[in-house]
Amino acid sequence: MLDLDEMRRALRKQYSITAGQDGENYASKWLEKSKWKFECVEQGTNALSANLKSYGGKRPDFIIEADDSSYIILDAKYHSTDGCTSFTLTDCEIGKYRALQQFLKNAYSDCTFEVVFMVFPKEKNGDEFTFVSLDEFDKGECTTLASKEATKISLLNRDDLWFKS
C-alpha cells in the first residue's frame, strides 16, 4: 500500500527544483552519518559571489575536507539514470562545474579540489547512490538532454561504488 511519504516523493521527483532539494537532503543525511568533516554551501538565489559568477561557475552543495589541503567539492544529484545505467549532464552544467574548480584552484593555489557528484537515481527513490567524478565526463558519450548538448557516462561496472543512503 502506498504511504504518504512515498506519494510525496513520487510527486516531488517530477519537478527539478524539489528533486534537487531532495537530493541535497539525502546527501546531507548520509554525510552526517558518515562522520566526514563537511560544510553545506548556501544555495539562496543571492548567494553566488560576484567573483565565482565572473568565472561562470556554480555553487556546490557541500565542501568536504579530505585532509589539510585537499577538498571534495560535492554536488548531490537526484536524477533519472536509465535504470541505474548512465548519468547525463548538459555540457553547459559540466562547464559550470569546471569553472567552479578553476575558480577554487586560482583562489587557493596551495590546495587541491576534486568535484564529485553524489548521484541518487530516481529509480531507487533516494535509497541508493554512487559517486561520480567530474573527470569521468572527459571520456563520456555525446548526447542530448532536454534538447541541449550533453555528455553521458556509464554507471555500469561500479558494483563496489554503490551505497545505501
Domains, the chain, ranges and CATH?
A: 16-42+52-164 (3.40.1350)
Q: What is the predicted pLDDT for the residue at 7?
A: 63
Q: For strand 148-154 and strand 141-145, is the pairing parallel, antiparallel, or unpaired? A: antiparallel
Phi/psi of residue 152, nearest 5 degrees: -115, 135
Q: What is the predicted pLDDT for the residue at 94?
A: 98
pLDDT in tens, 80-91: 999 999 999 999
Spell out the residues 6+ positions from residue 24 whose beta carbon is closer than 8 angstroms to its own.
43, 61, 76
Q: What is the predicted pLDDT for the residue at 48?
A: 73
Question: Which residues of the chain carry a pLDDT beneath 50?
Answer: 15
Distance, CA of 134 to CA of 5 (rounded, Å): 32
Distance, CA of 128 to CA of 118 (rounded, Å): 10
Reported for 102-110, long-range contacts at CB under 8 A and 24+ positions apart, including other chains, are: 102/55, 102/57, 103/51, 103/52, 103/55, 103/57, 104/71, 104/73, 107/51, 110/69
Residue with cell 533516494: 126
DSSP state of 12: H
Q: For the whole model, what pTM was predicted?
A: 0.88
Q: What is the predicted pLDDT for the residue at 116?
A: 98
